[in-house]
């Protein structure tokens, strides 16, 4: 039987104690959930490596998109990663994901661009995706303004950010735009099937993210039933041929685990180049917990080194 890593188990107890008496995520309004998410960000970001940062904006379909550039000390024009944060399309920001981006930049030795795309439900699908697509296209064409070689660009994201990263990659392929050299997908949400074995095993309230939470997220993101058939929103319903190399990772105690497993099977069926890594003993969101979870440092180092290897190829 699989077992939680001891540090992971301790973190879950700590989270349960901190949230005692508060509503479940899916019982909150988006604003309440964001406030809670932001409240805990300073704690989890503490201890991240020192990396030079610069805040600015880039053009987007509805106005400027805020970004933060992380530079670990690379040459003037060097490879870069566009990082698309998770949070169920509803939560998350440059601020909440600061620690992860610092670690990726430091461990991989490349620049990282983190962006604040528009969030649901105020901005439902496809608006968050359109912001991410615009950012990827802009970096491909104008990355030199940030010291990034647009021909050596990778994409990556976790959870909803994994969904958006894959959807962006498919959109760039279909639009004949400059493709990323590699894409790192961290325990992403790729389907709207809430009755998979992993949802049944880990979708209760014991493992940080629940089935009810994911239904809440998807309902805020999508406009209606038609969007559940749109591969731009639900990538597993789309064509996965002709994509750049993908790193697909999954957490063992995650209701979304079977989303990644199904993605890997689909990639293998069409001969797409990919690497599949299962992270044992951990739950969804584990890379956010590197301050107290030693394995998460290793996970992020592996993601960073995989990206760096493909950017230098």
Q: Where are the domains of the chain?
A: 6-312
pLDDT of 137 > 90? The answer is: yes
Q: Where are the alpha helices (DSSP H) in 227-286?
A: 257-269
Work out the percent of the chain whose per-residue pLDDT is above 70: 99
Among all residues, which ones are annotated catalytic? 159, 254, 284
- CATH for the stretch 6-312: 3.40.50.1820
Chain segment 141-169, per-residue pLDDT in tens: 999 999 999 999 999 999 999 999 999 99
Residue pair 285/208 in contact (Cβ under 8 Å)? The answer is yes
Say whether 225 sits in a helix, a strand or coil. helix
What is d(CA 173, CA 160) in angstroms, rounded to the nearest whole number? 20
- What pLDDT sits at residue 172? 95
Chain segment 203-251, per-residue pLDDT in tens: 999 999 999 999 999 999 999 999 999 999 999 999 999 999 999 999 9
Which residues are CB-neighbours of 295 under 8 A, at least 6 positions away? Answer: 5, 7, 8, 279, 281, 282, 286
- What pLDDT sits at residue 175? 82
- Predicted TM-score (pTM) of the model is 0.98
């Amino acid at each position: 039987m699989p077992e939680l890593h001891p540090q992971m188990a301790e973190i879950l107890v700590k989270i349960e104690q901190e949230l005692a008496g508060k509503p479940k995520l899916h019982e909150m309004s988006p604003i309440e959930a964001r406030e809670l998410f932001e409240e805990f960000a300073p704690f989890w970001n503490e201890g991240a490596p020192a990396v030079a940062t610069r805040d600015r904006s880039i053009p987007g379909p509805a106005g400027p998109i805020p970004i933060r550039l992380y530079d670990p000390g690379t040459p003037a024009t060097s490879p870069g990663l566009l990082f698309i944060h998770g949070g169920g399309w509803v939560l998350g920001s440059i601020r909440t994901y600061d620690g992860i981006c610092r670690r990726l930049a430091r461990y991989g030795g490349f620049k990282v661009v983190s962006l604040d795309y528009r969030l649901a439900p105020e901005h439902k699908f496809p608006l968050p995706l359109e912001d991410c697509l615009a950012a990827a296209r802009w970096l491909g064409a104008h990355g030199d303004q940030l010291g990034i070689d647009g021909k050596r660009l990778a994409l990556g994201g976790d959870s909803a950010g994994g969904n958006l990263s894959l959807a962006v990659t498919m959109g760039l392929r279909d639009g004949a735009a400059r493709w990323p050299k590699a894409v790192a997908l961290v325990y992403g949400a790729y389907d709207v099937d809430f009755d998979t074995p992993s949802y049944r095993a880990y979708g209760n309230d014991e493992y940080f993210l629940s089935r009810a939470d994911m239904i809440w997220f998807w309902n805020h993101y999508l406009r209606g039933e038609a969007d559940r058939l749109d591969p731009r929103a639900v990538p597993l319903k789309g064509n996965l041929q002709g994509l750049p190399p993908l790193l697909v990772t999954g957490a063992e105690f995650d209701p979304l685990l079977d989303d990644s497993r199904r993605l890997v099977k689909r990639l293998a069926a069409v001969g797409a180049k990919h690497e599949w890594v299962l992270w044992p003993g951990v739950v969804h969101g584990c890379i956010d917990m590197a301050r107290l979870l030693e394995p998460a440092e290793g996970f992020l180092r592996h993601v960073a080194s995989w990206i760096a290897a493909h950017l230098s190829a």
